[in-house]
Amino acid sequence: MDKKLISKKKPAFPINEMLSNYLTIQGRNIKIPIYYDDLLRFQGAIEIFDKNDNDTLWVSCFYAEHEREEIHNSLKQMYSILHSDGSDNILPYLNIDSIDFCTFGNSKPFRIKVRNILNDNYLFLYIKKADASRIYGLELEDILSPNHINYLVHKDTLIEEHISGIPGDIYITEHLHTISEQDKRELAKEFVKFNERCFVRLLGDMRSYNYVIVISYDFDRKQYRIRAVDFDQQSYEGNAKVYRPQFLKENNPFVNMSLKVLAKESIEQYKKEERSLLAKRAKSEQKRLKHLLQCMKKDTISTPEKVKELKNGLFVLTGDVRFKRAKNMGELLKAALDFIKRNYQNVNPYIIRS
């Protein structure tokens, strides 16, 4: 991948009062029993390797005995708040199997494995430093994509549910060469739609390890969905190519496959379908989206240089003068969504997801 496309290090942006109020209205801003900084007090850690003995860049954390019980109980309460009614009734049936810390990436997350001791089922949740960019990305994913996102925020701590699926890089390496031609066409269709969805909503850096492949079975065929799992690069970079997964070299196997199994006419049709669906979702969530965009327009989540570069790039691509008039990333995103809605006005506002 061209190193100039993506900044080496994106700064974290604080959650301002206006965004905090929005999150409170949406039921996301809730008092929690443990914070990100509490988990940083681990006494030691060991590296975690995958089945092929490759370093996963995660480490398993160990805590002092006098703190471990309090931390585990707080994490169980966190699980109850995120996935249940927040009561203590289920706590005796939960166990914290592991607390892992990721040494790679901007958000430096903790991954918590919570197991139900009655049936051995388990789920993961993630605790991260809150970043306004990521919050906007999560909200836009919940509003504009076919996927719902479950997360909570309090002060500088963000709690996210786990998004299940096969990481894109692993799927490319271990599975892509084994699937049938029909499955390749289905997956290529989804990649085209995912590419368009990321571009319109300005979600950047969708390299293959930042999304997962979700597979479901429908009668005699498989259905594929590509889901983003990293939202740090929401409306930050200035190069418009960053917002199109097709231009990131890690995705070349999907790009080459799509060009091979899909006709140009089909690719254009799938792009139009996704734009239409985006317009429908935006219209069905008009009030919520308007409030979120108001927050973005009053916020600083990028640099003036990157805003200038992106608005000029989008103007060249579309010829829409509204992009040139935009003063920040919030206004650029609004211009992008307005462009889609103007060109796809004949939509049914009651069709929300597809």
Residue-wise pLDDT for 199-241, tens only, equals 999 999 999 999 999 999 888 889 999 999 999 999 999 999 9
Q: Is residue 169 part of a domain?
A: no
d(CA 19, CA 13): 12
pLDDT at 279: 93
Residue 250 and residue 300 in one domain:
yes
Residue 191 and residue 336 in one domain:
yes
Residue 193 and residue 114 in one domain:
no
Closest CA to 6 of 288, 238, 332, 260: 238
Q: How far is CA 14 from CA 25, 74, 302, 306, in A?
A: 19, 25, 12, 19
Q: Is residue 173 part of a domain?
A: no
Give me the DSSP letters along 52-84: TS-EEEEEEEE--HHHHHHHHHHHHHHHHHHHS
d(CA 91, CA 245): 42
pTM, whole model, 2 decimals? 0.92
Residue 157 and residue 189 in one domain:
no
What phi and psi, each to the nearest 5 degrees, are found at residue 82? -75, -40
Residue-wise pLDDT for 115-160, tens only, equals 999 999 999 999 999 999 999 999 999 999 999 999 999 999 999 9
Domain residues for the domain of 205 are 182-343
> Does residue 219 sit in helix, strand or coil?
coil
Class of residue 96 by CB neighbours under 10 A (exposed 0-12, middle 13-18, buried 19+): middle
Quickly state the pLDDT bin for 344 (edges 50, 70, 90).
low
Residue 186 and residue 145 in one domain:
no
Q: Is residue 297 part of a domain?
A: yes
pLDDT at 343: 79
pLDDT at 350 over 80: no
List CB contacts of 44: < 8 A, sequence separation 6 or more. Answer: 61, 62
Residue-wise pLDDT for 286-316, tens only, equals 999 999 999 999 999 999 999 999 999 999 9
pLDDT at 346: 56
pLDDT at 52: 86
Q: Is residue 188 part of a domain?
A: yes
Q: Is residue 174 part of a domain?
A: no
d(CA 16, CA 299): 8
Q: Is residue 323 part of a domain?
A: yes
Give me the DSSP letters along 230-293: --TTBT--S-GGGG-GGGSGGGHHHHHHHHHHS-HHHHHHHHHHHHHHHHHHHHHTHHHHHHHH
Q: Is residue 311 part of a domain?
A: yes
Residue 115 and residue 187 in one domain:
no
Looking up tokens 């990333």 gives: 329
Residue 153 and residue 206 in one domain:
no
Task: Evaluate whether 114 touches 79 at the Cβ level (below 8 Å).
Answer: yes
Task: Evaluate whether 244 touches 201 at the Cβ level (below 8 Å).
Answer: no
Residue 347 is given by DSSP the state -
Query: To the nearest 10°, the Cα dihedral for 323, 18, 350, 149?
Result: 100
Instruction: Count up the domains in the chain and report the number.
Output: 2
Task: Return the H-helix or E-strand segment holding 130.
Answer: none
Residue 148 and residue 231 in one domain:
no
